[in-house]
Structure formats: structure tokens, C-alpha cells
Structure 1
């Protein structure tokens, strides 16, 4: 099966505009993410799924400069955008990644893909029930499964959040959720790029590891941050979308 990763990204983030191109260790955050996905053995291709807005022309140029595919679609109907991105490269299996996960662990992505391939579930993820640090989020499903979901629901929220309908309807779609091993079980840790404080922390982490190990793992980060509570405190008060 042809397995592709879609990266959802746009420049008009309400909380941190242009966040995916912010610099760390001489590279945009999005480039760090692309490099990490290139280290995932099972992936055949990477597609940047951005919008048709003029503000995202720069992301299309980025994709071309890095030799990855680019698909442009609706800003709000992200489900349809992901479907279009996957169809544009004849994907069968979709590995959905968001652009705000610049230090995602390639080993975790690979493990999620392998769990999907070796089981009969419609949907496999490590974020539906959170145990991994926020920012390691990986979702894997057949393109046909997402298209079936899209054909059933017309709800705007479902189409904005891509797999929300799949996750909310266990009677229609079977699911497997990966649980983090004890050594990296830290669901409260924010390693996602939402706000300026997140950028400060992620930049610190990337620039610490870049000279010694650019493809540092989630475990590497956890071990580092256990020794640096001052870094953990940087974005501890950031409220995530969906938090209650």
C-alpha cells in the first residue's frame, strides 16, 4: 500500500501567525518536521496540505524548495483538503500530521503506522486518549475510510477537525489507541507550537540537540526536561484548544 504523510499547515494561525516558518537552529520549524518525517521508513511520500489563500503562497514555495508535494484546498474544510492532498499523490494510507508538531518522533510515527498495517482497525492514533506529550500526535487511516466519513457527515466541526467524526462514532469505525510507555508518559507536557511561549520552549529544545543529534527522540526530550524544570515552566500555563 502507498503510505503518505499529510502535513496540515497555514500561515494565518490566530494565536501565532506564521508559526510554521519561525526559525530554530537556522531552519524553519516546518523544515524540522519534514526532516523528521523523511526519517520514517514506511512513508512513501510527504504532502503539504495548505490553503488557497495568498498568504500561503510562501508555503507552496517552501514545499517546492524542499522537494515535497503540495496541495492547496479549503482553509476551513480541512477534511476535504486532506482528502485532496492524499488523492493528489494516489495515497492508500494517510498518516495525518499537523504543522504544529515540529519535533514529532519518527519512531513513534513508524510504530503507529506498523500497528495500523498489522491490525484490522479503521483508525490508529496515539492522541485520542492522551498519554504521549502533546506534539507527538500521529493518526493513521485508509483514505477510503476518511472519504466514507466525509460522505456521512456534513457537520462543519467534523470537516474542520478531519477525524472527529471517525473518533466520535465507534459504532461505524474501529479504533486502536497507542498508550505511551512509562518513560515518556507525560500528557501534560506541551511540545506543540500554538503560542509564543511554545516557540520559546521548542526553539530551546531544537537548538540544544541540533549540534549533537538533530533527530532526537521523544525520550531524549523528556529526559532533558526532567532536568530542566525551568524550561518546562516556560509554556506550562498555555491553554490548548479543546482543554477544559
Structure 2
């Protein structure tokens, strides 16, 4: 087994220009934005050496950069359409050895998904370790984490010319068989559980979960989150 190359940097995709729910990551929760809460929690994850935000150069994303600054997190700003290039630029500026890809529409994420994909990457033989594959996921939709080396990211960036693939950071890993992808599974199939933020209904649920969990323990983990979902009768019965 080999250790992920240091430093290990989480890079969070965040922008205001969501089609369905613009500004969702800056929705307020107890006087902070969801993005700030997410970033502050990530800074306490021991497996990470640093946390960065990758946003765009569009003027409307100035508020994203400001929220990251309030959370004490550096920002890289790049192309709005070339998300892969934006990510590669952020990784280069951060001096990352290993990158953990996260998105701001998953503010409930904690240490466990990050540790799981890093452990899978540590096993070797993969360019990408993910708990959010295009099909067959077992982690809840909203705890998405992916890990890859900086070298693999740079190679993917250099090899990908299709604009449709450059709109997504890791889709090229899945589409081209030259890349080796390792899928990380949960010991319980919760792939149909939705705790990401894409609609107003999603936002209402995630805000209520954050308010409850942060009041109990700002460093809440996966077990706490699943218990809160169980209380809302939002988990499937165990097989």
C-alpha cells in the first residue's frame, strides 16, 4: 500500500450560477452560509492538509469568494465552463499532491466519506477513488467524495479535449478505459437517500438537518446524520 501524496487538499466546487436553485450554497443557517459551515467543518478533518474553494471568475461569484474568506479558506477562480481546467488550476495553486473533490451542494459531508475514498486510493492501482459512481452508488446522494492524485488530474486535464467532458471534473476517468476507477461502497445501500441541495425542498431538509446536528455537536459524524435521517423516517429498512 502507498500513502496518498502529501499535501492532501480538499477542493470544493462552489458557484452562484446553479440553474435550478441559484445561490444555494450561500443559503443561511443560524447566521452563517451553508458553504461557510461546510468549510469550517472540513478544516477539522484530520485526513486533510488544506481546504480550498474553486469558483469562477464571474462577478456573481465574488460572494462565494467572500464566504470562503470568512471561513479562512483560500480560493482559486477560473473558467466558468471549463470545470476540469478550473480544478487543475486550483490543485496547482494549492500545491496539492492528492486532491479530494467535493461540491458545495453537499454541505452535510464529514470525515467518513473523505477517509473512505482516501483509504481506497491508498490501496493503489487506481487513478480515481469515488463513492459517487455514475451508477450503483451506495452512499447517500449528498455525501459525495472523490480522491485522485495530482498527477492523474494533470494527465486527465492534458488528455481531455471534448468540451462536454471538460464541464465535469472526473467524468473523463469513467469514460476512458485507460483510467482505473475504484468504487467505494457503504456497508448499507443508502444510494436512494437524497441529502444534496438542488431544489427548495432539498434545501429545507438540509437546513433542518444542519440546525439540529450543529446544535448537538458541530463535529457531527455519519452516525449522527443517519440517526437524524432515521428520526425523519428517511432511511430504507435494513435488508
Q: With the length of structure 1 as denominator, give the TM-score of the two structures.
A: 0.89
What secondary structure does 2:215 align onto? coil
- Stretches of structure 2 that go unaligned for 5 or more consecutive residues are 1-5
Aligned to 1:202: 206
Whether 1:37 and 2:42 are equivalent positions in the alignment is: yes
Q: Is the 8 A contact 2:36 2:68 kept in 1?
A: no
Aligned to 1:53: 58
Q: Is the 8 A contact 2:141 2:192 kept in 1?
A: yes
Q: Is 150-159 or 94-103 further displaced after alignment?
A: 150-159
Superposed CA deviations along residues 110-164 of structure 1, whole A, max 9, x for unmatched, are 2211221232311101111310000111000012212211222211121111110
Whether 1:187 and 2:183 are equivalent positions in the alignment is: no
CA distance in 2, matches of 1:108, 1:207: 21
CA distance in 2, matches of 1:79, 1:14: 19
**1:138 corresponds to which of 137, 145, 157:** 145
CA apart distance, 1:97: 0.4
CA distance in 1, matches of 2:46, 2:120: 14
CA distance in 1, matches of 2:65, 2:12: 12
Q: Is the 8 A contact 1:25 1:210 kept in 2?
A: no
Aligned to 1:122: 127
Whether 1:69 and 2:74 are equivalent positions in the alignment is: yes
CA distance in 1, matches of 2:162, 2:150: 19
**2:158 corresponds to which of 151, 160, 183:** 151
- Stretches of structure 1 that go unaligned for 5 or more consecutive residues are 234-244
How many residue pairs match? The answer is 228
Superposed CA deviations along residues 15-54 of structure 1, whole A, max 9, x for unmatched, are 1111111012332110121122112212111111000000
CA apart distance, 1:181: 1.4
- Cα RMSD for the two superposed structures: 1.5
